[in-house]
Amino acid sequence: MQFSHDVVIVGAGGSGLMSALYAKEGGADVAVVSKLHPLRSHTGAAQGGISAALGNEEEDHWLWHAFDTVKGSDYLGDQDAIEALCKDAPRTIVELEHYGVPFSRNKQGKISQRRFGGHTRNFGESPVRRACHAADRTGHTILHTLYDQCTRKGVRFYEEFQVLDLIMNDDGEPAGVVAYEILTGEIHTFHAKVVCFATGGYGRAFKTTSNAHAGTGDGMAIMLRKGIPLEDMEFVQFHPTGLYRLGILITEGARGEGGILRNSDGERFMERYAPTVKDLAPRDMVSQCIYKEIREGRGVNGKGYVHLDLTHVGDEVLDKKLPEISEFSRTYMGVNPKEEPIPVAPTCHYAMGGIPTDEQGRVERGARGSSIPGLYAVGECGCVSVHGANRLGTNSLIDLVVFGRRAGMAMAEEVKQGKGFAPLPDDPERETRDLLDGLLANTRDDGEPIVNVRTDLQETMMENVSVFRTDETLSTALEDLRALRERAKHVVVDDKSDRFNTDLMDAVEIGFMVDYAEAIAACAHHRTESRGAHSREDYQNRNDDDWLHHTLFHSDCNGSFEFDKKNVVITQFEPKERKY
Amino acid sequence: MKLNVEIKRYDPASDDAPHWESYEVEAEPLDSALSVLLDIKWHIDGTLTLRKSCAHGVCGSDAMQINGENKLACSQLLKDLVDGDGDTLRFAPLPAAPVIKDLVIDQSRFFEKYRAVKPWLMTEGPAPEREFVQSPEDHEVIEEATKCIMCGACTHACPSTWADPEYLGPAAMLKAYRYTFDTRDDGAEERLDVVDSADGLWKCYTIFNCNEACPKDIDITRWLSSLKRKSVTAGASAAG
């Protein structure tokens, strides 16, 4: 079947819904196509906060927020985009509040704010209360409120439709997307004037992750397959405090409320590494420090974890401000954080890199200004780049809504200015049909179970492309991925039916995973320095002379790839050594 | 431990009726019920069909019946479901909804009811320059209701829902409560028109099934009682 809308947004998390809402309010006919029901999107798992220099608790300025974000990014974030983020943030938070987000309140009845890692007052002096929050369910309340508003405004939802292809016609213009309707097994063409990808992150490529099962990087892989580069894929954020072995997130808000990391000696080890902000150092540093402690034999009980100690913060704080994580600790670890510390270890959490865009979310093919009319990307799948080499906690939610809002307005404007439908190519669904038919035709004689390929991919990424990397580990990963690409083509789909065939979608996803995992490993191999979350043991220093630029990764998704550079925009904060 | 897992399977395209299938699995007491299902799907039978996403109880995808009770599969650890070796674990789809396939139900009706209650903040007059002022005490009144993840465990545990497909059910009415009691909202009248009806509040007989089923421990019955009181007061003042 063929559907037709002014604007088609792929993905229904925070950025997809925000852009849908603002495009709709701007007068466009908007459809959201999502492989999950919108309320199941991963934004709902975001816990601790959303940053904005509201100054509700103490003096704060957008410029301080911008400085922290630039410094947090290890000077790889684009300062013009970061200015846009930090300047837009307070207004956007107020709009969210007006839309109904039930933020926690302070005594004056204003939005309550708390501390988070890397957020400081007066250019690094001491921690500042900048994270607006709804207890530790901040993402959940934003997701639900945006869905409620989109429902009210008549955004058209196609839920449980998995987008498998971006339609680029012969003239290189985006003309829509191809989606598989999970309920019926039908393949549909969505013809659109404007397409926006809001498909989120890729954490499922790693064995231990805080990401939902759905976080398989589909949008990044689809763009790559269409000849769009990916930017800064080497920068993978590991969140310092995932529940040991499970990877379930324990918000940084826990440390913002006074939680302390301790090693096997009970030592507050972050004092040694970051004397000013201690446990509230940025995530790249804290994750690296935890691994150092574990490697040097100070993991608790000789195991691969440290303790997050909340026993002193008080029952009232745990009950009112951190209720969810208290429940997670009890449910999944049998640990009551009021009485004993929580075993934690870093968990793959967030993609700093992604589809290159400008500040309105327009996708760029290469150098700055090379945007493609009618093609957008927002949220975690995009790279604008405000996070550079390391994202500060709470800056993802504000990224989603600030750039979702900007893209939504820009898309409505593009339609208003007369952007028409690019003509569809002949048989736009052919590639998708061939892909699915090929997977369904695989048999046990020449193929293997999906789970084997996925597990091997997750293990090689975790083992070789994790917090610490070397030439050797990355070469191993690239070799493994070459083999995995072939194996992924031959996975066996047990379910041959048309109805709700999640087995078939798992098979498609493993193909996507190989393509972007290669981007991550190859970019990490390429960048011979350590910066932010990218820590090369064979190149331990940051090297601004050679590497103060973004990486663009082009691939034919068949084993050949090349790199390109993009300059970093520096406006007012000159790169210097990062100390906390 | 070795478990006998029974799953209610049904593919309307090929089966005349649902049937139970058994699987033997090895599992650990700290594994979740979801991990048992995924183990079966990934290693034994790829045709087994279920919804899942976050895997830690916040997205609401995998509400289903486990040992006869509505639960989120990801938030249930085996140690709380079985005693040990040889025990049986039973999975079935949530009741009182059409089954799409195996453990996946059709939620379109459930979300129609959600939309019916106008679940969004309605405000009159110009918005303030900054955020609305709302005291922590006023916030507290709606806070628990904002935890709802719309998983459907409550609505599909409610005998009124089983008996009457038109009944709005606890999840939709909790949403109505959440917005009606938000001090920023001016839409009470419009929303009460919907819930103060034969298909709404008055088919709630306060039997607490919704509370027992709620994976987020929301005291749904309590909040629906507040909504009932509000609708009676509003009705009385309109009549007066």
Residue percentage of chain A with pLDDT more than 90: 98
Residue with token string 């949008």? A219
CB contact under 8 A, A151 and B115: yes
Which B residues 210-239 touch A at CB under 8 Å?
A: none
Q: Touching check for A439 and chain B: CB below 8 Å?
A: no
Which B residues 107-136 touch A at CB under 8 Å?
A: 107, 115, 118-121, 123, 127, 129-136
CB contact under 8 A, A45 and B59: yes
Q: Which residues of A touch B118 (CB under 8 A)?
A: 152
Helices of type H across A186-269: 218-225, 253-256
What are the tens digits of pLDDT across the range A162-186?
A: 999 999 998 899 999 999 999 999 9
Helices of type H across A321-444: 323-328, 395-416, 430-441
Q: CA of B42: which chain A residue's CA is closest?
A: A451
Find the catalytic residue in A115, A283, A469, A578: A283
Verify whether residue A283 is a known catalytic residue: yes
Task: Report residue B111 as tokens.
Answer: 């979300």
Q: Touching check for B12 and chain A: CB below 8 Å?
A: yes
Concatenating the DSSP letter of every residue in A37-105 gives: -GGGSGGGG--S-EE----SSS---HHHHHHHHHHHTTT-S-HHHHHHHHHHHHHHHHHHHHHT----B
What are the tens digits of pLDDT across the range A400-454?
A: 999 999 999 999 999 999 999 999 999 999 999 999 999 999 998 889 999 999 9
Q: Look up the ipTM and state it.
A: 0.97
> What's the mean pLDDT in A6-29?
98
Residue with token string 């007061």? B233
For B118, the enclosing helix (H) or strand (E) is: none
Alpha carbon A52 to its chain's center:
19
Which A residues 33-62 touch B at CB under 8 Å?
A: 36-37, 39-42, 44-45
Alpha carbon A226 to its chain's center:
21
pLDDT at B235: 72
Q: Which of B12, B47, B139 sits opposite A495 (nearest CB)?
A: B47
Q: Which of A110, A152, A500 sits opposite B120 (nearest CB)?
A: A152
CB contact under 8 A, B46 and A97: no
CB contact under 8 A, B54 and A40: yes
d(CA A23, CA B122): 20
Assign residue A559 a region (left: φ > 0; alpha: ψ between -120 and 50; beta: otherwise). Answer: left
User: What is the Cβ-side half-sphere exposure of residue A366, based on CA atoms within 13 angstroms?
Assistant: 6
Packing angle of the helix pair A14-25, A395-416 (nearest 10 deg): 30
CB contact under 8 A, A44 and B45: no
Three-class SS string for A175-200? EEEEEEECCCCCEEEEEEEEEEECCC
d(CA A477, CA A233): 15
d(CA A458, CA B41): 18
Selected for mutation to probe chain B from A41, A96, A98 (highest B CB count within 10 Å) is A98
pLDDT at B234: 80
Selected for mutation to probe chain A from B11, B43, B54, B115 (highest A CB count within 10 Å) is B54
Residue with token string 């293990």? A459
User: What is the Cβ-side half-sphere exposure of residue A226, based on CA atoms within 13 angstroms?
Assistant: 29
Q: Touching check for A332 and chain B: CB below 8 Å?
A: yes
Q: Quote the mean pLDDT of chain A.
A: 97
Which residue type is seen at A276?
T
Count of CB contacts below 8 A, A vs B? 154
Tens digit of pLDDT at every position of chain B (240 positions): 999 999 999 999 999 999 999 999 999 999 999 999 999 999 999 999 999 999 999 999 999 999 999 999 999 999 999 998 999 999 999 999 999 999 999 999 999 999 999 999 999 999 999 999 999 999 999 999 999 999 999 999 999 999 999 999 999 999 999 999 999 999 999 999 999 998 999 999 999 999 999 999 999 999 999 999 999 988 766 654
Query: Can you point out the beta strands (E) in chain B?
Result: 2-9, 19-26, 63-66, 69-72, 88-92, 99-101, 104-105
Selected for mutation to probe chain B from A37, A149, A204, A322 (highest B CB count within 10 Å) is A37
